[in-house]
Amino acid sequence: MTLPFPGFLPTVSTDPIHQFKIFSLLDWNVGAYNLSFTNSSFWMLVSTGLVLTFLGLAASRGGLIPNRLQSLGELSYGFIADMVRSTAGEEGLKFFPFVFTLFFFILGANIVGMFPYAFTTTSHIAVTGALAIVVILIVVGYGIYKNGLGFFGLFAPHGVPLPVMFFLVPIEIISFLARPITLGMRLFANMLAGHIMLKLLAIFVVMLAGAGLAWAAWVPYVLLIPITALEFLVAFLQAYVFALLTCVYLKDAIHPSH
């Protein structure tokens, strides 16, 4: 265990990449694997803990007439359930708990990451990529379990003339293979870029002021306010997009024919 935790102290690095650095809080090696409890693990614990607390409190009341917190929990339930139902159909509701967990896991991580000194766990490709791969494995696994080889009909749309098929099938296969990459990349890149942009603007304010250009420092300072708001929107939107695309892909597994 390394103390003090540099990430928790109110010192600010001027390096925009510094915020993404992982360091061990509790060393733990299992065989050849380094499974240390890191700052990333800690903030993942915080975000999942907050999500669990919020949803747990919202669900535990179970009143006939909801209070605000319960309403919020029920709205979340309805929001995700409607999304799954409208995108993947009634059968897609089998995966409702998974999609719900995905949405709230990502949303929690993104929102917690917006707070100063916090670590954004979704700004690492290992996390977002793993989530994307899990989604695709479930899609492929369920698609084959449900439709057998018919699942691969996904790559051969109906009513297409044979010569076109020769071009279309490889394109469909490539686009399918690109799904986990784009799914993981989109979230990762959005969070990374957003946080770098915020950091650069913030540092720019300090640098300009430090260089005796206080009047100019106002420009990035004012710009920082709407961009912070935008990043909160992005935090929600990326969680939503991830969950929505999961539903779209699940629909392909349930009904592979185009």
Report the alpha-carbon distance of residue 217 to residue 106 in Å, rounded: 34
- Answer whether 128's CB lies under 8 Å from 116's CB: no
Please report, in angstroms and rounded to a whole number, the separation of the first and last CA atoms in the chain.
54
Residues, the chain, total?
258
The reply on whether position 64 binds other proteins by CB under 8 A is yes
Report the alpha-carbon distance of residue 198 to residue 194 in Å, rounded: 6
Q: For tokens 């770098």, what's the residue?
A: 196
The reply on whether position 131 binds other proteins by CB under 8 A is yes
- Answer whether 242's CB lies under 8 Å from 131's CB: yes
The reply on whether position 198 binds other proteins by CB under 8 A is no
Radius of gyration of the chain (CA): 22
> Whole-number minimum distance, CB 175 to other proteins, in Å?
25
The reply on whether position 101 binds other proteins by CB under 8 A is yes
The reply on whether position 239 binds other proteins by CB under 8 A is no
The reply on whether position 37 binds other proteins by CB under 8 A is yes
Residue 239 tokens, joined: 């969680």
Interface residue with other proteins among 100, 155, 242, 249 (CB under 8 A) is 100
- Answer whether 243's CB lies under 8 Å from 214's CB: no
Interface size with other proteins, residues (CB under 8 A): 57
Stretch that binds other proteins, among 17-25, 142-150, 160-168, 244-252 (CB under 8 A): 17-25
Interface residue with other proteins among 55, 107, 247, 254 (CB under 8 A) is 55
**Residues in touch with other proteins (CB under 8 A):** 14-15, 17, 20-22, 24, 33-38, 40-41, 44-45, 48, 51-52, 55-56, 58-60, 62-64, 66, 70, 73-74, 77-78, 96-98, 100-101, 104-105, 121, 123-127, 130-131, 188, 192, 203, 207-208, 210-211, 213
